[in-house]
Amino acid sequence: MYSHVLKCFAVTDTTRVFEVDILNRSTDELEVKWIDIQDVYSLEGIGEEDYKILSNWVNRSNQYDQPWFKGEWRHNFEKRVKNVVGSTNVEFKQIRSWERSSLFKLFIGAGDYYFKAVPDVFSHEPLVSDYLNKYHQGLVPTVIYVNPDNNEYIMEELKGGLLGYSNDINHWRDALTNLAAIQKQSINQISELRKMGCPTYSVSQTTQGLLEVSLGELKEVGNFSNNTYSNLISTLSTVYKFCNELETSKIPYALEHGDYFGGNIIVQGDQPIIYDWSDCTISHPFLSATVIVDELEETFSSNIGECLLEEYLSEWNDFDTLENLRYEFNLVKRIAPLYYLTVYQQFIFPHLRDNWDQKQIIDDYVNQWLSTIDEVNE
């Protein structure tokens, strides 16, 4: 059976149910029986839970569906790719299909590539990836095709292991210094990045202006308990104090990755390659280093984490003293969980219907912030 997974339609405690398009329409050799869509209500031998899922599927709304959730998309996508590479001899391997992206591996005679399509909320990713490839070849994936009308692009396959599995300190050092180089160069390209649709968020203003609203919305739909909500509200004065201190920053806005950790960096040869710029914004550059520094400390030691952080911060010493830069990094690191929570709640979740990873994202950021507060109060 030649099939194409459209989407994960439902999730139960024990099962995930996928909507699948059968691409080889002939059923002569398949042990299946096609029925009219309305006949699902008369099927015998199915449980109550399965019946409910089928009923929801029949009556589903396609209003918020991504293009790659629709049956005709696969044929048109393959046709576009073959035209781009100038060959009909292309093998397509589906990697993932969910709200945040459609990802395929492409096997072509001259080499292997990846195709990625993203929803409108991440429409800047193809253009930003192409921009980075032009200015920072060797530090990011090589992009060979961009179609901004369809929010899609093709990049060369990266060959190597994830940075998160590397025990070579130099790989981690290079990942931070390469990040700083990309960010510093972007300072003079802010206008160009905005034209690509890359959103701009102030850490301080976004958090102070929208955090309390976000917490209220999340409580209203039951994403955390009354007790958790009360604990978060009681810490607002502290986070606003941090935000006010950040207002005096001398660090300019720059490109911020949004999800910079060892799982989004592949070591190809000896060079860390940074990929997956979906969550990138124009914001405070230090945000990108907050998680990877914690990874460094967990992988190696606190001392090594501190040393490599100092090297990263030294890349910014044209703007302030190392002592002030370190203090500012700690401010950003403390605010980051609630800032990211606010960005997701206000600017990302509303554009996605299923949001399968929403609870995990919310819980992670809330727990990070409450741990930060505990450290501050000690």
Q: What is the pLDDT of residues 199-232, one digit of tens each?
A: 999 999 999 999 999 999 999 998 988 999 999 9
pTM here is: 0.93
Q: Are 106 and 91 in contact (CB under 8 A)?
A: yes
pLDDT at residue 35, rounded to an integer: 78
Structural domain of 111: 67-156
Same domain, 253 and 368: yes
Same domain, 175 and 92: no
Same domain, 202 and 260: yes
**Can you tell me the mean pLDDT for 79-103?**
94
Q: What is the pLDDT of residues 313-347, one digit of tens each?
A: 999 999 999 999 999 999 999 999 999 999 999 99
Same domain, 214 and 337: yes
Same domain, 46 and 124: no
pLDDT at residue 30, rounded to an integer: 62
Residues in Cβ contact with 337 at an 8 Å cutoff, skipping those fewer than 6 apart? 364, 365, 366, 368, 369, 372
pLDDT at residue 29, rounded to an integer: 59
Q: Which amino acid does the sequence have at 226?
A: N
Same domain, 203 and 289: yes
Residue tagged 């060892």 (tokens): 262
Same domain, 166 and 302: yes
Q: Which amino acid does the sequence have at 101?
A: S
As a whole number of angstroms, the distance between CA 179 and CA 88 comes to 38
Same domain, 149 and 233: no
Q: How many domains does the chain have?
A: 3
CA separation, residue 185 to residues 128, 249, 253 (Å) = 13, 19, 11
Question: Six-digit token pair at 272?
Answer: 């860390």
The pLDDT mean for the chain works out to 93
The CATH number linked to 137 is 3.30.200.20
Closest to 336 (Cα-Cα) out of 262, 276, 284, 277 = 284
pLDDT at residue 64, rounded to an integer: 62
Q: Which residue has the higher pLDDT, 348 or 26?
A: 348
Same domain, 360 and 235: yes
End-of-domain residue from the set 117, 141, 156: 156
End-of-domain residue from the set 131, 156, 181: 156
As a whole number of angstroms, the distance between CA 14 and CA 29 comes to 31
Same domain, 52 and 78: no
The CATH number linked to 170 is 3.90.1200.10
End-of-domain residue from the set 156, 175, 190: 156
Same domain, 179 and 144: no
Question: Six-digit token pair at 42?
Answer: 């008369």
Same domain, 225 and 290: yes
